[in-house]
Amino acid sequence: MKNGHPFGMHRVISPIGVLPQPADKISNDMELYDNEILIDVQTLNIDSASFTQIYEEADGDIEKIKTRIMDIVESAGKMKNPVTGSGGMLIGRVEAIGSQLMDKTDLKVGDKIATLVSLSLTPLKIEKILEVRPEIDQVDIKGKAILFESGICAKLPEDLPENLSLAVLDVAGAPAQTTKLVKEGQTVVILGGAGKSGMLCLYEAKKKVGQNGKVICVEYSDEALNRLKMLEINGVRLADVYIKADCTKAFEVLDKISEATKGELADVTINNLNVPNTEMTTILCTKDEGTAYFFSMATNFTKATLGAEGVGKDIHMIMGNGYTKKHDVISLNIMRECAPLRKLYEELYA
């Protein structure tokens, strides 16, 4: 076997010298290097911002969606949406393990895993797209993928359905970061609170703020908002306040958040939206010296940083790092802890 770079730079075709994620093109030749893991892929979970963009570009036509995904992978060697720059993650079985990793991993050939690194840096070869499920952003394929030595993954738990685990692990960074950021007694605003990541963030925020804190859910969809309002855990709802609003209209949302907080605004605002132009909403809803966490891959960070400067907001802004320690454990445990939320998640995403 050939020797490989720990971060996968041996796969980069252009431009030379960059890491696989920012690269325009990487090699998806499935010949295994000594520090790689070969995966027989079952399902791609395209991230929400990326799938929404592809779906809208294709006018919802499934065959056009298939063609667009195939074109992206054939061109780039990976599933990196050229518009959003984002990818997603996958589940599959370990097919082979490089010789240098044999003694460094507890994985075995045949293990069912979910990758916890983005498809935007993962070498991928699709032989055939078998099914597209637009309601949950998932694509079943016949194909192979490579996990680098530095890549992280999780063995799929035996006590949870595969599609449920895949949906949760796709957004595992958001609730795990919420657990780190939110403190007791704070006011927390979750933008896109009725979505896949938003519901998990609501659950973690509600646990952390305690009885003296306040969690506010902002959602555009009447259907999703009403569904969430009906969800109770031991007689307690996931949010203290539910607001229907279009998060691309910053001042509309600001007015409603100001009313709900008596002008105090949020200690922490978490953006889980899958549409662009919500940066200023996130910033304006956050009090001075508060924290804005942009988990949304539709975020334009130039708009966020210069926008905050333009309105004189002294806030901490955190990019949506999809990884934090034990994020898979934290997120999957929500499904074990909260039967009502798990039931809703299974209905929507599994």
Q: pLDDT 10s per residue in the chain (350 long)?
A: 899 999 999 999 999 999 999 999 999 999 999 999 999 999 999 998 899 999 999 999 999 999 999 999 999 999 999 999 999 999 999 999 999 999 899 999 999 999 999 999 999 999 999 999 999 999 999 999 999 999 999 999 999 998 899 889 989 999 999 999 999 999 999 999 999 999 999 999 999 999 999 999 999 999 999 999 999 888 889 999 999 999 999 999 999 999 999 999 999 999 999 889 999 999 999 999 999 999 988 899 899 999 999 999 999 999 887 788 899 999 999 999 999 999 999 999 87
Structural fold of domain 173-349: Rossmann fold (3.40.50)
Q: Are 345 and 228 in contact (CB under 8 A)?
A: no
Nearest to 271 by CA among 284, 258, 252, 260: 284
Single pTM value for the model: 0.85
Q: Are 271 and 192 in contact (CB under 8 A)?
A: yes
Q: Which two three-digit tokens encode residue 211? A: 């009885």
44's CB contacts (< 8 A; 6+ apart) are 69, 79, 88, 89, 90, 119, 138, 139, 140, 141
Peptide bond into 340 cis (omega under 30): no
Write down the pLDDT at residue 322: 77
State how far Cα 133 lies from the chain centre: 17
Residue extent(s) of CATH 3.40.50.720 domains in the chain? 173-349
Query: How far, in Å, CA of 95 to CA of 37, rounded?
Result: 8
Write down the pLDDT at residue 340: 94
Q: Specify the DSSP element, H or E, that contains 144.
A: strand 138-147
- Give me the sheet containing 241-244, strands edge to edge: 241-244, 214-219, 187-191, 266-271, 286-294, 316-319
